[in-house]
Amino acid sequence: MAAESTVRRLVDAAERLFAERGIDAVSLREINAVAGQRNSTALQYHFGDRAGLLKAVLAKHRPEIEARRHQLLDEYEARGPLPPACARRTLAAALVRPAAAKLSDPDGGRAYLRVMEQLVHRMPPLLPDDGVTSGSSIGRWRELVAPLLPRPALRLHQRFMAIRMTYVELARRAGAAQARDDRLFTSHLIDVVAAVLASEVSDETARLIAEREQRS
């Protein structure tokens, strides 16, 4: 039990400090101190390094998000074919709603969203998969939304934009004073993400992407 309590305090301290100051701006020594650990090697003993600690922060929240998103995707597939606009908004909701629920999670949910926003901007990623593993809900979402996007060659670009916009806006909301009700915010974010998925890519943008791919 003592070991579990230590792990929990370290994870709680890390998610708060990572959210407030940035993943790279906080020392492991400081996290150890904020967690009340007199043993300077406690963090390394339980997590190994910064990446191991970050994985633990994400693992605290992801099972709930994964389960809810898979449930929404199950419901989407069970409904059968939908008109494209309806299908895009339904899938946009499946992307947004499970993460948006963290806005009202008092156990570090808002800090988690601010950490995730940092991760979607990192190139190369700090973690090998950043959550898009085989069987993940995001991987499944990407496959389901692909046929609804305007240009097959640019599917990855639009899907990534939708994911990044989701976490940027959720992090912005999480960093502000807590609202009494996030329903309107969440619904509007779903609208915006659905619009991103529906947006036509101009010939100019397609040409520039093709030129970049030829140079690489």
**Averaged pLDDT score across all residues of the chain:** 89
Number of domains into which the chain is organized: 1
Q: What is the mean pLDDT of residues 18-44?
A: 88
The answer as to whether 198 is a domain residue is: yes
The answer as to whether 151 is a domain residue is: yes
In this prediction, residue 153 has a pLDDT band, given cuts at 50, 70 and 90, of low
The answer as to whether 145 is a domain residue is: yes
pLDDT of residue 133: 59
The answer as to whether 185 is a domain residue is: yes
The answer as to whether 199 is a domain residue is: yes
SS (H, E, C) the chain: CHHHHHHHHHHHHHHHHHHHHCCCCCCHHHHHHHCCCCCCCHHHHHHCCHHHHHHHHHHHHHHHHHHHHHHHHHHHHHHCCCCHHHHHHHHHHHHHHHHHHHHHCCCCHHHHHHHHHHHHCCCCCCCCCCCCCCCCHHHHHHHHHHHHCCCHHHHHHHHHHHHHHHHHHHHHHHHCCCCCCCHHHHHHHHHHHHHHHHCCCCHHHHHHHHHHHHHC
Q: Is pLDDT above 60 for 134? A: no
Range of the domain at 66: 61-215
The answer as to whether 13 is a domain residue is: no
pLDDT in tens, 84-130: 999 999 999 999 999 999 999 999 999 999 999 999 988 666 554 55
The answer as to whether 9 is a domain residue is: no
In this prediction, residue 142 has a pLDDT band, given cuts at 50, 70 and 90, of very high
The answer as to whether 92 is a domain residue is: yes
pTM of the complete model: 0.89
